[in-house]
Amino acid sequence: MAEPRTQHRRLPAEWEPHAGIQLTWPHDASDWADTLDVVEPVFARLAALISQYQPVLIVARDPDHIESFSGLLVEAGIRSDRLWFALAPSDDTWARDHGPITVLEPDGPRLLDFTFNGWGGKYAADSDNAITRALAAQGVFGAAPVESVPMVLEGGSIESDGAGTLLVTRSCLLHPGRNPDLDANAIEAEFRRHLGAERVLWLEHGRLEGDDTDGHIDTLARFCGPDTIAYQQCDDPADPHYAELAAMERELAALRQPSGEPYHLVPLPWPRPLLDGEQRLPATYANFVILNGAVILPAHGDAADDIARERLAGAFPGRDIVTLDARPVLRQGGSLHCLTMQYPRGALGIPEEEDPLHA
């Protein structure tokens, strides 16, 4: 029997008001060790941009770790009144995937601590998988309860419209390294139970070379509103991505809103190939970060950056569209959204701020 939908539980959309956003800082015992000199300034600039709109929570290994990068935060112009630190060991820095997924209930937010196993067992993840519990023990989440969920799930693998619809990819969620005993129907049942999902829209197609998440949806297609999906398009028939992304585009065009209407689709331009040696990097404009009052767009030093910015501005009226060069981050297979995890209002034990878009 399928799990019933959890009544009065809802996975909010990312454009709903935030209490803050988490970053997990890189260090010399992570895969970033050889590139800290170019990657840490990107983290600092990202933190500073976030702090212009809302609080930022930085997870560091220990006080000495904080001391090692605090000067970069000052140089980047971070707002110290919106900066908050917590301590926890970490294997890596992808907060989107090891951070908790927050649902909203009548009594307030509930943080779901799903299992993180390094994208299907590809990488060490024991420390990352313990970060949420470490933060809870420090009181980071205030009065919001934390619920452990044994299912393997990464935040980058699900997109929510805030009204009961999830957008996901089969390549990721049905990968045998994650939940080998769960088929698509069983996964939908878990989403009904834990996330209050009413509908799950599955994509069969879409991939990026250099991506080792098995096709996270946040690299491919994103809700920008209940009726709007922005997606990474490829318009170069000679590019090896063309067939897969064209097939994904057709799938998106065939999807329907609960009303039966098609979604408004916003194609994001295709950047020129970026290489690290002979390895192609997973450059995508779909991995943008939504803030209270702004959207941070990954830039790639490409003429397409401006086109992507213009198209996202149309999808997010009233929000600033700011860019940040994401090329140093791409060398480890992810981008800006992958580095962040947002917390809805009431999910952090810090003073709440007015969101100008929802005041």
* Distance of alpha carbon 358 from alpha carbon 16, whole angstroms: 8
Catalytic residue among 172, 224, 234, 338: 338
Tokens matching residue 181: 């005993």
Q: Determine whether 297 is exposed, middle or buried from the number of CB atoms within 10 Å of its CB (0-12, 13-18, 19+).
A: buried
* Distance of alpha carbon 21 from alpha carbon 114, whole angstroms: 18
Active site residue 338: yes
In this structure, the strands spanning 83-87 and 101-105 are: unpaired
The single-letter code of the amino acid at 201 is L
Q: What is the DSSP letter of 256?
A: B
**Exposure on the CB side of residue 324, measured as CA atoms within 13 A:** 27
Inter-axis angle of helices 63-76 and 36-51, to 10 degrees? 70
Neighbouring-strand partners of residue 109: 104
Q: Which residues are catalytic?
A: 338
